[in-house]
Amino acid sequence: MFSSAFLQRLLSTIYIITRKLNLIRDKNYINGEWVSAGSSQQFDVYNPADGSVIGKVPDVDAKDAKKAVAAAARAFETWKEIVPKKRTKLLKKWFSLLNKYKKEMANILTRESGKPLPESIGEVIYGNSYLEWFSEQILHIRGEIIPSDSTRKLLIEHHPIGVVVIITPWNFPYSMIARKMSAALAVGCTCVIKPSEETPLVALAMAKIAQKSGIPKGVINIITCSKRNAPSVGNLLCTSPLVSGVSFTGSTQVGKIIYKQCSKGVKRLALELGGNAPFIVFNSADVNSAIDGAMEAKFRNCGQTCVAANRFLIQDGVFEEFVCKMVKEVERLKIGNGLNEGVNIGPLINEAHLKKVTELMEDARCKGAKLLTGGKQLEKLGKLFFQPAVVTGVKNNMRLYTEEIFGPIVGVIKFETEEDCVRISNGTNYGLASYLFSKDVQQIFRVARKLEAGMVGVNECRAFPVETPFGGIKESGFGREGSHHGVLEYTYIKYTCLGDL
């Protein structure tokens, strides 16, 4: 095993190399050029683990965003005409270079998001897999010839919709861009990407590698802005007549705003929004397997994931065993700076989010929930660290029950019957992911069918590989990413009738 000191020296070396490669950028990427904001304004990017400034990026306004959209619109006219095999070759070259620099990418990702380095490496590999997948899907988009009752020929083709705006969150800043952008580029669309103001550096690094791989200018454009300018920039991106579609991952609240703005132009829209995922353990389940799944589903990225388990529904026959084992596993977690060896849990992303998680915890305690472990701010580690918690006695009058936690709190609910479990699981406006553990095959199919969610993991929490459709129902959004369905979000169907044959 390497010492922590050695690991820190290694990571510092990687960071220095990253800077020499110019992967840490302080400019935006528009029309193949690295440019500042028209106002020359910048904002700082912080490491949430220690509060240090790790970079500065442009704080663009709507005028800058308009230039990025115009560049993408010009590029679309030529990119859409490139034969699929050439687009495949370019995307695979980009994929190869991103794999080559995956450690450098992961280092940037950990510094700006706070997640443990092994998780960042995993995210980069996962994101790259989408680039590889969609580069190959280009060659498998099929049209149709419809049988006719006359001498006419009836043809159906898929065409790229045009300029796509991609707005991504801070919790998975690499993989979300890779998943959306690779599908859009594959079918012939061009992109304007606005990453979160919390985590813009890895997006700009991806653009630098795209530039090295030979992606034509204007095909990819990345703009950054502070929270102050986000409303005006977002409105421009969603209402511009040059934009044909918008893909957004983030909160349901913001998703509804984007939905409304895009309605003015009747744009193609894909929304991957919040979740309130139930994690169900039935009496027949392998409890040890369920515990392993629970640790994965709850604590990846400190619980800051849209598919994180939110409400733990445990049947009465295995309730005590599950809770006891869960507490022991949670207390084994190592909390700290994601660059340090062996760390499982990093900081929350910012002070506003820490405040929300703390308030959710206090609301539950004041309303009678029982705190079994954790649940406190760990100021000795840094101002954004929160000790993972296990809470029982969660009721429907508590915010832990109704709201997306997005943090390291396990809220446990005991249930008796299958009917109770399904009722509680579906008693939410969200419908992204659900998880259930059972050894009863009939029960598995019966409950999976009844759960109101776009995705169900059965005895499995790593349930979202690249070849599967990712997305939700109800207020968790619509549209699908990944799988062969992912490219169809960025195409429209053209029907042609050939007569007089």
Same domain for 399 and 486, yes or no, is no
- Number of helices and strands in the chain (H, E): 16, 22
**Confidence at residue 14, expressed as pLDDT on a 0 to 100 scale:** 53
Same domain for 294 and 240, yes or no, is no
Quick one: average pLDDT of 20-28?
86
What is the H or E stretch that residue 44 is in?
strand 42-46
Q: What is the distance, to the nearest Å, from the Cα of residue 401 to the centroid of all Cα atoms in its chain?
A: 23
Could you give the angle at which helices 4-20 and 102-113 cross, rounded to 10 degrees?
110
Residue 1: pLDDT over 50: no
Same domain for 424 and 291, yes or no, is yes
Yes or no: say if 150 and 198 are a contact pair by the CB < 8 Å rule: no
Q: Which residues contact 75 (CB under 8 A, 6 or more apart)?
A: 31, 190, 216, 217, 218, 219
DSSP for 406-426, written as a single string: -SSEEEEEEE-SHHHHHHHHH
Q: How far apart are CA 338 and CA 303, in angstroms?
A: 14
The catalytic residue among 198, 272, 404, 475 is: 272
**Confidence at residue 183, expressed as pLDDT on a 0 to 100 scale:** 97
Point out the least confidently predicted range of 77-81, 123-127, 139-143: 139-143
The answer to whether residue 144 is catalytic is: no
Q: What is the pLDDT of residues 51-72, one digit of tens each?
A: 999 999 999 999 999 999 999 9
Quick one: average pLDDT of 127-136?
96
Q: 155 in a domain, yes or no? A: yes
Q: What is the pLDDT of residues 376-418, one digit of tens each?
A: 999 999 999 999 999 999 999 999 999 999 999 999 999 999 9
Q: How far apart are CA 239 and CA 161, in angstroms?
A: 16
Which tokens belong to 138?
A: 């280009």
Q: pLDDT tier at 148 (50, 70, 90 boundaries)?
A: confident
Query: How far is the CA of 360 from the CAs of 397, 424, 436, in angstroms?
Result: 12, 19, 25
Instruction: Look at the alpha carbons of 391, 395, 396, 397 in this order and tell me if their dihedral is positive or negative.
Output: negative
Q: 422 in a domain, yes or no? A: yes
Which tokens belong to 150?
A: 């006359």
Q: 46 in a domain, yes or no? A: yes
Q: 70 in a domain, yes or no? A: yes
* pTM, full prediction: 0.94
Quick one: average pLDDT of 13-29?
73
For the chain, give the percent of residues with pLDDT over 70: 96
Strands 190-194 and 220-222: parallel
Strands 389-392 and 370-373: antiparallel
Residue 35: pLDDT over 50: yes
Same domain for 265 and 287, yes or no, is no
Strands 33-35 and 28-30: antiparallel
**Confidence at residue 3, expressed as pLDDT on a 0 to 100 scale:** 55
Same domain for 269 and 196, yes or no, is yes
Q: What is the pLDDT of residues 132-147, one digit of tens each?
A: 999 999 888 889 999 9
Range of the domain at 287: 277-465
Residue showing tokens 């084994």 = 332
The CA-based dihedral angle spanning residues 332, 338, 341, 344, taken in that order and rounded to the nearest 10 degrees: 20
Residue 360: pLDDT over 50: yes
What is the H or E stretch that residue 492 is in?
strand 491-498
DSSP for 55-93, written as a single string: EEEE---HHHHHHHHHHHHHHHHHHTTS-HHHHHHHHHH
Which tokens belong to 268?
A: 């193609």
Q: 208 in a domain, yes or no? A: yes
- CATH number, domain containing residue 294: 3.40.309.10
Quick one: average pLDDT of 323-340?
97
Q: Which of 331, 386, 330 is nearest to 355 (CA)?
A: 386
Residue 13: pLDDT over 80: no
- CATH number, domain containing residue 255: 3.40.605.10
Yes or no: say if 406 and 304 are a contact pair by the CB < 8 Å rule: yes
Same domain for 198 and 329, yes or no, is no
In our burial notation (b when 16+ CB lie closer than 10 A, e otherwise), range 234-249 reads bbbbbebebbbbbbbb
Q: Which residues contact 359 (CB under 8 A, 6 or more apart)?
A: 399
User: Residue 249 in 3-state DSSP?
Assistant: strand
> How high is the mean pLDDT of the chain?
95
Quick one: average pLDDT of 77-105?
96
Quick one: average pLDDT of 162-172?
98
**Confidence at residue 9, expressed as pLDDT on a 0 to 100 scale:** 56
Query: Strand pairing partners for 344?
Result: none
Same domain for 136 and 258, yes or no, is yes
Same domain for 76 and 180, yes or no, is yes
Q: 4 in a domain, yes or no? A: no
Same domain for 103 and 233, yes or no, is yes
By residue count, the chain amounts to: 501
Q: What is the pLDDT of residues 280-319, one digit of tens each?
A: 999 999 999 999 999 999 999 999 999 999 999 999 999 9
Instruction: Count up the domains in the chain and report the number.
Output: 2
Same domain for 201 and 83, yes or no, is yes
Same domain for 255 and 389, yes or no, is no
Quick one: average pLDDT of 90-119?
97
Q: How far apart are CA 491 and CA 489, in angstroms?
A: 6
Same domain for 220 and 316, yes or no, is no
Q: 268 in a domain, yes or no? A: yes
Q: What is the pLDDT of residues 423-471, one digit of tens each?
A: 999 999 999 999 999 999 999 999 999 999 999 999 999 989 999 999 9
Q: 45 in a domain, yes or no? A: yes
**Confidence at residue 149, expressed as pLDDT on a 0 to 100 scale:** 82
